[in-house]
Chains A and B, each alone.
Chain A
Amino acid sequence: MNGVSVKKADIAVLPQDNAGSEEKRLGFWLTLPAQCLVLFIAVFPILMQLYISMTDWSPLDGIPWYRAYELWIGFINYTDLASDSRFWAAMWRTFLVMIVCVPIQFLLGLGLAVLFVDEFPGKRWFYSTLLIPMMVVPAVAGYMFFLLFQSGGPVNDLLSLFSASPVKIAWLSDPSLALVAVMAADIWQWTPLMFLILLAGMISVPQDQQMAAVLLGASWGRRFFTIVLPRMKTIIIIALAIRTIEIFKIFDTLYIMTGGGPGVATETISVYIYKVTQQDLIWGYVAAIALAILIVLSVISAIAISKMSKGANAR
C-alpha cells in the first residue's frame, strides 16, 4: 500500500461518538434551570386554567382562586360546552372568517409580492403606502370601517355610482352582511402583513436558480410554480399559520364595528368569551372554553411546524 493510510494510533485521536453525547448531557444540566423557568412560565397559566375549568368558581364568590376546589364540579363545564349551541355557532363563524380571509389575504399578498419583487418607478412610495393599514391601531381601524359601512357611508356612495338608484344597504345591522363588513376590515388591515412576509420570502429565492430555469426554456409560470413557490414553502406556512391563529383571536376591530351583533350574527369565539366573562362572570366555564381553543390552535401550530421541518429537510 502506498499513499496516505490512516494508522491505528491516529484513529484513537479522532473524535468518538460518545464524546458528543457526553457534551449533550452536560449541556442538558447546564440549561436545566432556565428550561424549568421557561416551562413554568408557559405551563403555569395553562394548568391554572385547567384547574379552574373543573370548578364552578367565580370571582364574586369571595373565595380565592386556589380554594376553588371547594366548588369542584369535574367535567360538567366541558359537557355543557359540548351542548352549548352559542359556542358552536361562534366557533363556526370564526372558522368562516378564517377560511374566507386567510386565502384572500394570501392571494392578494402573493400577487402584490410578485409585483414588488421587480423594480418599477415609485416602488418605495407604493411600498410604504401599502404597509400603512398594518400600523393602524385595530380600534381605530374598527371605527374607520364602522363609518365606511354606515348606510349613508362611503361604501354605499361608491356602490351608488354603479347603480341607477342610491344604494342604502344597512351593512352593519343586516345579520347576513355584518360579517362581510368585518371580513373586509380584516382583509384591509392584514393583507399588508401577508404581503410583507411573502415578499421577504420571494426575494430570498436564489436569482441564479430562477435564471437557470429560464435559460432551460421555462416560461414565467413554470418558473414561478416549480422554483419560486416551492422554495417559499417554509415562509408560506409561517405566514398562513400566523394569520390563521390571529384570525382565531379576532376581537378588537370586530367588537367596535358590530359588538358581535346584530344579535349574535358576528359573535366570534373571542367576543363570546368576552361576553361570558363580563356579563355572566362564570370563570370556570370561560376557562373551559379557553382550553378548548388552545387545543385547536395547538393542533394548527403542530401541523404547521411539522410541515415546516419537512420543508427545511428538503433544502
Chain B
Amino acid sequence: MTQIALSNLGKKFGSFTALAQMNLTIGDGEFVALLGPSGCGKSTTMNMIAGMVDPTEGDIRFDDRSILDVPMSRRGVGFVFQNYAIFTHMSVRENLAYGLRAQGVSASERNRRVNAMADLLQLSPMLDRRAAGLSVNILQRLAIGRSAVVEPAIFLLDEPLSNVDAAFRSVMRSELKALQRQFSQTLVYVTHDQLEAMTMADRIAVMDHGKLLQVGTPLEIYNNPQDVFVARFIGSPGMNILEGTIASSDEGKLVDLASTGRSAPLALSDRAASQGLPEKVLFGFRPEQVNPDPNGTMALPVNFVERIGARTILHLGGDGIEAKAVLDNQIAMPSIGDILRFSIDPKMVRLFDPVSGIAIGGDI
C-alpha cells in the first residue's frame, strides 16, 4: 500500500511533448483511472510510473521517496498489460510462481503463496495446465494473480478490457472491482472507455494532448467539468456546447444564443458573480437536461431521431449549431424537420470561457 505522487512530470520524445506538467497524488488504496483518447499521454504516464519510460522532467515519489533511480525490477509495481503478457510457454503455476522465483522466495513459501493465490482467483483446477489457450477471463485473473502474488505496492492496469467483447466487458468490470477490494491496493487504471472509468474508479483523471485537465470523483467530473474538453468527452453523448453572448434582463443575467433563442436567467454562484462574466461564453448543458416545453425560450430543428430502446437521442441543429437531446420514450416524440422548443434548468447550465475553454466560476 503506497501513495503515489507525480510532480511536474513531463516527457518529450524529441520535439513531441507526450506529457507536460502532470501533478497528481494517488492515495493509499485508491483506485484512480487515467482517462482520455488515444495519444493523450495516459499510457506514457503509466509507463513512467512502472519505469519502462524515463521522464524528461519532474519527479515520481512512492510515499515521499523518489523512485526515479530505482530500476524497473525493484519498484514493486504490479503491471497488467493490455494483452496480459502471459508466459504462454509455461504452466499456470509457473506463471504465478515467476515473480516469487525471481525474488528468491523459498520453495515451500512459494508453493504456499501460489496455492493461496490460485484459491483466491479460482485458478486451482487449472494450475498445471499450459497457459496457452486459456480463455480471456482466466488470462485476466492469471495476469492479476501473477502480479498480486509478489504483493506489489501498487498495481498498474493498462486497458485490460480493450481486447474483450462488449458483452463480456461488464462481467470483467465487476470482477476487477471485486478483486481490487480484495487486495485493497493502490491501483492506477488506464482506459479510453469512460464507462470503465465511471463504474470502477474512486477518482478519474481526464487527460488530453499530454495535459491533465481534471481530477475528481466520477460524479464531480460528470456534473462539474472544469474544461470544455472534459464536458464533451464525458457522458454519452457528451455535453452540448453552444456559443452565446451574455445579456441582461429584468430577472438577471442570461445567455443570448442568437438563432437558438435565449436561456433562462442564470443561477450564478457567488464566485461567478463576483468574478464577472466575459461578454462571450460557451453555454453547456447535458443532453439529458433538455426539457421539451412549448413555452421554452430555446428552439432547434430536429435533424435525426435515433432510437436506442428505453431512450431516444434527438440530433438537433442547423447553421453550424449542433446539439443532442436525450428524451424518455414516454413523451410524444417530434419527427425530423420539427422544431423542438425546450428549456434548461438554470442550475444545470455550465458556462465556459470561449478562449481558454475553462469553466467559469466553478460550480454555478
- Chain A interfacial positions (CB closer than 8 Å to B): 206, 208-209, 211-219, 222, 226-227, 230-231, 233, 314-315
Contact = CB atoms under 8 A, between A and B. Distances in A.
B89 A315 contact: yes
Interface in B107-145: 130, 132
B146 A216 contact: yes
A145 B69 CA distance: 50
A222 B132 CA distance: 21
Contacts of A230: 89
Nearest to B81: A208
B224 interface: no
Interface in B94-110: 98-99, 102-103
A233 B89 CA distance: 10
B87 A209 contact: yes
A227 B131 CA distance: 14
B146 A206 contact: no
A252 B72 CA distance: 51
Contacts of A222: 102
Contacts of B146: 212, 216
Nearest to B104: A217
Interface residues of B, number: 27
Contacts of A213: 87, 98, 102
Nearest to B99: A216
Interface of B: 50-52, 72-75, 77-79, 81-83, 85-89, 98-99, 102-103, 130, 132, 146-147, 150
A314 B130 contact: yes
A182 B183 CA distance: 63
Contact of A216 (B83, B89, B98): B98
Residue in A214, A215, A231, A315 whose Cβ sees the most chain B Cβ within 10 Å? A215
A314 B99 CA distance: 21
A284 to B, nearest CB: 50
Nearest to A233: B89
Given A208-B83, A314-B130, A216 B52 contact: no
Contacts of A214: 72-73
B79 A227 contact: no
Contact of B132 (A219, A227, A233, A315): A315
A314 B132 contact: yes
A217 B102 contact: yes
A211 B79 contact: yes
A119 to B, nearest CB: 14
A215 B98 contact: no
A234 to B, nearest CB: 11
